[in-house]
Every structure is written in structure tokens, then in C-alpha cells.
Amino acid sequence: MITFDSKMLNKFAEENKSFFTGARINKIQQPTRREIILYLRNNGKTKQFYINIDPQVYHICFINENSFNKRRLIIPQKPPMFCMLLRKYLNNSKIAKINQPEGERILELYFETYNELGDSIYFCLAIELMGKYSNVILYNTDTGIIIGCAHNVGADKSQKREVYGQIPYTYPPKHIDYTFLNQRYGFLDSFNKNIYSDRINDIIDQYYAGQISRIKFKTTKNDYLSQVNQKLTKCIKALKETTLQIIKNKNSEKYRLQADLLMANLYNLKDYTKEAKVFDYENNQAITIELDETKTIKENANVFYKKYNKTKKSNEKIKELNEEYSQKKIYYEQLLYSITASETHEELEELKDEVESITPIEKYDKRAIEPLKIEKENETRIYIGKNNKQNDYIISKLASEDDLWFHTKDCPGSHVLLKTQKLTDELILECAKLAKKYSSGSDSSKIGVIYTKRKYLRKPPKSNLGYVTYKNEKEIIID
């Protein structure tokens, strides 16, 4: 990544000095804590002056609509406090001059405005582009006192320089010239060598918009993976607990059998005894039943019946929960695959509702991105869903009864649907290979792919997006 050094800043300032001087601010926005947009108007033109103080991509430039979208800028409904402060002091003010202290990565914008008495007052917006120390600071030029800054720096964060409201503004300590280091150690690539001969703003805008887009894509992807992994971990834990409870409750049938045997031998056994020896006609063996000696045989039988009924009801609820957690586990694993396989911001955006929803049992938005479609001869089409919404759309909207459905066995992956008037073994093999390719088992040496007709698929009520059960399936092993 290129370094936004003092030489680059100087070139940018010289290139845009005429537009800055005399420009008025008619709007101020702050998409994030580290991004600020000043809408400047001069010479009949309005430009968006973009400031970014993120340590990874700190820079300034004028951006256009395409760059705005590429940077994934979203304006919050409630402006941050610093944005409100800038609006209070700078809205409708005019830039009197710009300045770059010699050798520094600081651009100073001096604004002229008026107080309640109509007197001219001046404020300076110091844009400091210094890696992790980058900041935007507003101070009064008459008093030199800081009015506010993008982020405060107290003594606990820096022993060399504090930055916050109501203290004097001072320049940061002298820094190492990165331009010199880059040239000395040969870090300049072809981009750096030619950057100063072309229009600097366009180069900065294009380069950093691409960098920000990649960083935000990676950050969003990792955030989605983290959220879904947390849900999956909780789901697996709950699934284990319900499975153990089902195993534990297997005694319910034992209670019923003991009660039945006691009632069958009601007149052959003595009341108020510690145990009863009876013949288990279901398992063809003699057994001994431990009893409560303070109760009669009939009372003991009733105790066992109550335990049986209680455990039976508990089992029914636990089995329902167990099935629900099993479905959710499959759903979250599929969602993880979809996130991992995403290659664009648009594909991640398609998954946002699923990732952030409390429960995955929700209907998809019909504005979903269309699934991948492969057109072939003889009116043959192959559809591939790259996420749960598309998988559900393929099954619910696109598939006909006799279309073939393909999916990897016991492995998260895409639903593949084959529509054709002329089915061949070659088509089946091709679809099976596509099912493997678009699955988490794509790198496996061998993987099973199941396929069946759409009419043999069933989507259980209230099931998760993309979840189906199937029958009459066939399996093909793909190397």
C-alpha cells in the first residue's frame, strides 16, 4: 500500500488550491468516526471533499458518486457529536486560505465566518494525516484554543502531545519523512514512480477507494463469520444437551413396564414391602422391582405411572427441541459456507438479514440476487444457489416436479437444479460436479452427491431457509 506522504499532500494542495480558496461549505456529513465529507461549492461547482483518518488508509481527496458507492459510505440518521460541532461552527462559512506546514502531512483549512455581532472570526480545520496519530482538529485561530477533534488524545494515550477541547493547539512532534524512506529502501513501485506526473486527486481517489472497498469487504466477511460461528457454537451446545436428556429419559418405558407388572400381580404381591419379584413377560425374564415400603403395591404402581407420563411429555418436548437444533445447525453451517464463498459486497449484502436476524426461520426478500444460471443446448438450464435465499428460491419458485435436484451429502453447499427435456448421464455427472464445486467439500478428494426429483423434496413447516428433506435419492461419488 502506498504511503500518503507530505510530497503527495503538497501535490494535492497545489492542484486544488484554486478551488479550495473561496469555497463555501453547504453540507457536512460523517459516515463513520474516521470519515468526514465536506460539501464545498465554488465557481458554480459542488464537490465532496473526503477526509479519512483510518490508520490503514488515511488520505484526503475529492470523490464522485462512483467512488462514494465503492467506499460503501452510509450516512447515519443521527450525526456523531463531532459532525454536529463542525456544522455549528463551519456551515456556510468560506475557506479563506489553505496551508501545508513545510514537510508536514497536515493540511490546514482556514474558514472565515461571522459572529452574532457581524464581526469576522476565523477557525482552522487541521487535517493531520499521520498513520495511527491521524486526526481532524478544529480550533480558533485568534485564541489557538481547540474547539473539538475527531478523537481526543489524553495523557493516558500520549505522553508527547494531548489533543482535546479547551486546550491550546500545537503541532505534533517532528516525524520521519516517509518519502525519504521509501526512496532510500526502494519501496516505490510503478504506481509511486508515476504518481506525481498525473492528476493527483483522481489517482488518490481511485487507489484508496479500491483499498477501502477491499478492507470493508474483508471486515464485513470476518464479522459475519464471527456472528454465525457464535450462533453455531450455542446451537451445538444446546443440541448436545437435548441429546443427553433424550438418552437420560429412556427410563420412561421402564417406568411403564414396572407399573404394568405391579398391576398385573396386584393380588400376588404383599403391600408395604421393599421389593417385588415378578416375571417380565415382555422381555421373558424374572426381575426385581424396588418399592417404597411405606406404600401399597397399587400406590407404588401409580408412582411409576406418574413418572412415566411426566418423562413421556418431557421427551416429546425435548425431541422437538432436538429436531429444531439439528435443523438450525445445518442452517448455520450452510450460512457459514455462503459467507466464505462470497466474493463481492453484493453477495455479502444478500446475507445481511440472515446473519443479523434473531432466528433463521424467516422468509426471503424477493429482491434477492438471482441464482447462477447456466444455459445449455436443448432448452437445458442449470441453476446454482449461492446462499440460503437463492437455494430456497430455486426450490420454491423455479423448480418443477420432474426437475432434478443435486446436493452434496452431509456437507454444506449449493442447491443445484437441472431443467432439461433430454436427460443424459453426462448432464447428471456435470451437475454432480457443480454441486461439489459449490460446496465446502470442493477440495475433498472424494465426496458423495445425492440427487432426486423435485417432487420428492419436502420443505417442513416453519423450517429454515433452504432446508429440505428428500427421498428416493440416488448417490454419485465425485473425485
| pLDDT mean for each 10 residues of the chain (479 residues) | 86 95 96 96 96 96 94 94 96 96 94 86 96 95 95 84 93 63 40 56 93 94 95 93 81 85 91 92 91 93 89 82 90 93 91 75 54 91 92 92 94 94 93 94 91 94 86 93
Asked if residues 277 and 288 have their Cβ atoms less than 8 Å apart, the reply is yes
- The answer for residues whose C-beta is within 8 angstroms of residue 230's C-beta and 6 or more apart is none
Tens-place pLDDT, residues 151-194: 999 888 877 899 999 999 999 987 544 444 344 333 334 445 45
Task: Kindly report the backbone phi and psi dihedral angles of residue 428, in degrees, each rounded to the nearest multiple of 5, phi listed first.
Answer: -60, -45
Grid cell of 109 as nine digits: 483549512
User: How much is the pLDDT for 182?
Assistant: 46
Provide the sign of the torsion angle of the four alpha carbons 336, 341, 347, 348, taken in this order: positive
Alpha helices in 71-199 (DSSP H): 81-90, 178-184, 190-194
Residues of the chain with CATH 2.30.310.10: 6-198
User: How much is the pLDDT for 197?
Assistant: 45
Tell the burial category of 390 from Cβ atoms under 10 Å away from its Cβ (0-12, 13-18, 19+): buried
User: 3-state DSSP: the chain helix, strand, coil percent, rounded to 5?
Assistant: 40, 25, 35
User: How much is the pLDDT for 196?
Assistant: 47
Grid cell of 309 as nine digits: 407420563
Question: What H or E segment, with its residue span, contains residue 45?
Answer: strand 45-52
459: left (phi over 0), alpha (psi -120 to 50) or beta: beta
Tens-place pLDDT, residues 255-292: 889 999 999 999 889 999 999 999 998 889 999 999 99
Architecture in CATH of 6-198: Roll (2.30)
- What is the C-alpha separation between 233 and 149, in angstroms, rounded? 41
- pTM for the model stands at 0.74
User: How much is the pLDDT for 96?
Assistant: 96
Nearest CA among 99, 128, 110, 151 for reference residue 25: 110
**Sheet of 135-140, strand order:** 59-63, 45-52, 35-42, 24-32, 94-99, 106-114, 120-128, 135-140, 146-149
User: How much is the pLDDT for 181?
Assistant: 39
